[in-house]
């Protein structure tokens, strides 16, 4: 969302949040405290114990305003173009197997793949030195990566700031990795 770290949004239905107990205790969450127990304030307040991340919330608000100004629809349309081009170029590289959604209209900007003969970490390392930041590994979803039958995947993510030049750099970096690993 182009926002700061340490802040996020949890979306939940009011009547369901009302049924949840607070996970963390602290100032501002209680309605009444007795020696035998306590009752909690209304649903949202009870989950925000202590001093909230005020600066973070203000910055997140600025990020939301920025994205609304650019237009979520515009971001989606732009990402579609970039993903379509990235998928097309990646498919031309021998040894690349794309694991991401191949239909670019249904892909929201995440292109995960594996490269035959080069482990995802090694690919990420070489790309990183070429100035291309991708993620590699389990992506916090080890059971899913295991189910795909691979030990790790490489993942390139595209967003409103990515251009055709970035795809060019990605493809050139993968070719460089292939030279280093002689595959």
Chain residues in the site for other proteins (CB under 8 A): 118-122, 125-126, 129-130, 136-138, 142, 145, 151-152, 176, 180-182
Closest separation between CB of residue 91 and other proteins, Å?
24
Q: If phi over 0 gives left and psi between -120 and 50 gives alpha, with beta otherwise, what is residue 28?
A: left
Contact 152, 137 (CB under 8 A): yes
Name the active-site residue from 16, 54, 140, 147.
140
The residue among 23 and 149 lying less far from other proteins, judged by its C-beta, is: 149
User: Cβ of residue 29: shortest distance to other proteins, in angstroms?
Assistant: 33
2 is catalytic: no
SS3 14: helix
Q: In the bound complex, what is the minimum distance in angstroms from residue 132's beta carbon to other proteins?
A: 13
Token reading at 150? 């691979």
Q: How far is the CB of 112 from other proteins (least distance, A)?
A: 14
Nearer to other proteins, 84 or 138 (CB): 138
- Complex with other proteins: residue 91 or 129, whichever CB lies closer: 129
Q: In this structure, are residues 145 and 139 in contact, taking their beta carbons and an 8 Å threshold? A: yes
Looking at the DSSP bridge assignments, the partners of residue 40 are 30
* 164-181 helix and 120-129 helix, angle to the nearest 10 degrees: 120
Residue among 43 and 157 whose Cβ is closer to other proteins? 157
CA distance linking residue 38 with residue 32, whole number of Å: 6
Which sequence positions are flagged as catalytic?
140
């Amino acid at each position: 969302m182009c926002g700061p770290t340490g802040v996020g949004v949890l979306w939940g239905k009011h009547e369901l949040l009302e049924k949840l107990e607070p996970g963390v205790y602290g100032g501002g969450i209680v309605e009444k405290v007795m020696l035998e127990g306590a009752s909690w304030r209304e649903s949202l307040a009870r989950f925000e114990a202590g001093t909230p991340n005020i600066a973070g919330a203000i910055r997140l608000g600025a990020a939301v305003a920025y994205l609304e100004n650019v237009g979520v629809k515009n971001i989606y349309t732009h990402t579609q173009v970039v993903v379509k081009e990235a998928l097309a170029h990646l498919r031309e590289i021998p040894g690349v197997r794309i694991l991401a959604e191949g239909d670019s209209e249904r892909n929201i900007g995440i292109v995960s793949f594996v490269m035959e003969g080069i482990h995802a970490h090694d690919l990420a390392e070489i790309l990183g030195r070429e100035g291309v930041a991708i993620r590699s590994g389990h992506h916090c979803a080890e059971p899913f990566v295991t189910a795909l039958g691979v030990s790790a995947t490489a993942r390139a993510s595209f967003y409103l700031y990515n251009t055709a030049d970035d795809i060019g750099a990605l493809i050139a970096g993968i070719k460089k990795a292939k030279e280093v690993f002689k595959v």
